[in-house]
Amino acid sequence: MASDFWTHNIFANNQLPNAARTSIANQLYMGQNPTFATANFLIVTYDLSRLGIPDGQIVVGAEQQYWTWKRPGPDRVGLNTLAYYQTFLDRKFELKLGYLRNANEFTGTLFAGVSGSNMFALFQAGMSTNAAPTPAVNLKYNLDDHLYNKVSMQRSISPDGPYAEITENPTGLNWSTANTGILFVDELGYKSKAAPGVPDTWLRAGVGFNSGHYKNLADPDQQRQSGNSFHYIAADRQLWQSDVEGTPSRGIYGGFSIMGAPPDLNRISRYYELRLYAKGPFDSRPTDLISLVASNTAWSKVAVDAALAKGQLAHRDTTAITGTYIAHLAPGIYATLGLSYIHNPTSITHTAQTEHALDLLVSTLIFF
């Protein structure tokens, strides 16, 4: 039996003057007020090979989170995962079932915490999260050592988003919540690990279909309608190996992500991301990481037009450029320092004082 405990702590604060500080209850984006968040995890894995079941595992995990800004929360203590994992036919097939967090199973978030892929584009369409695991069955078929296809049948999270899901089901144990349905996800990918003279490569594309009942953003008061969807494509490629014979994964990488969802049911209709990053940028710091990420979030035309019709200040997209340095300070201890410029940091509507933000980002990740 193996157990892992880790804590992830994040702080963000807008450095621009006239940042429109407000009460915590009225805060509109992370960093508008000094914002702190912590998430703590305990995962226990029982290896069933000792009972004669090769590659069999039972995984049980709990999560506690706290935010000074409650919208991404709310605060909770509850289930993180409860899963059974098994391989079949010489590891051609991998099965995982139970209460799963599919945000860790699909698309591949490369940068933890304060930068990287904006998974909310998929959360809004029902994908489960660390704080909102749901019953699911995942099956991965490894066509060869590189090519794979992975499918999931998951109970979707609330159509009203992770906040509504966690509020109704803080422990994560409920079999269902209001207006949820079945989310089907399919990802096809190619993955090749770095080797001397062979660059690290990961290509993947996926689709999701959700039978849950969503509000139509053109008229939220009308009867909910069934069915939602998303799609994504992402690629990451090692562009240069700095230590070919020693640690071939060290070097410079580039990548992109594109995500989309119907604008009548989802506040985010498109998400675009470009990333450039270096693993082990210095010989003296072989396990550090530097990243530069540019992203654009296109908000639903339906929701923007509805806000404009009410006379509100509204924007059609949000653009961010984020630079971070992740330092491996000691075994199991990482610290991140970053700076993120965001044009229109709020969701769809804004005030004259909330059009720009320059967030200082600090985080720590500690494994015990």
pTM equals 0.93
pLDDT at 181 over 80: yes
Average predicted confidence (pLDDT) for the chain: 93
Give me 10's structure tokens: 């994040």
Nearest C-alpha neighbor of 95 from the set 85, 106, 110, 109: 85
pLDDT at 115 over 60: no
Nearest C-alpha neighbor of 101 from the set 138, 140, 64: 138
What total of structural domains would you count in the chain? Answer: 1
Q: Which residues of 307-329 are buried (b: 16+ CB within 10 A; e: fewer)?
A: beeeeeebbbbbbbebbbbbebe
Could you read off the pLDDT of 46-90 as tens digits, one per residue?
Answer: 999 989 999 999 999 999 999 998 787 789 999 999 999 999 999
pLDDT at 117 over 60: no
pLDDT at 279 over 90: yes
Could you read off the pLDDT of 281-321 as tens digits, one per residue?
Answer: 999 999 999 999 999 999 999 999 999 999 999 999 999 99
Instruction: For residue 271, give the CATH number of its domain.
Output: 2.40.160.180
**Whole-number Å distance between alpha carbons of 267 and 309:** 16
Of the chain, the percentage scoring pLDDT greater than 90 comes to: 86
**Whole-number Å distance between alpha carbons of 199 and 161:** 38
**Whole-number Å distance between alpha carbons of 293 and 322:** 5
Quote the domain boundaries for residue 77.
2-367
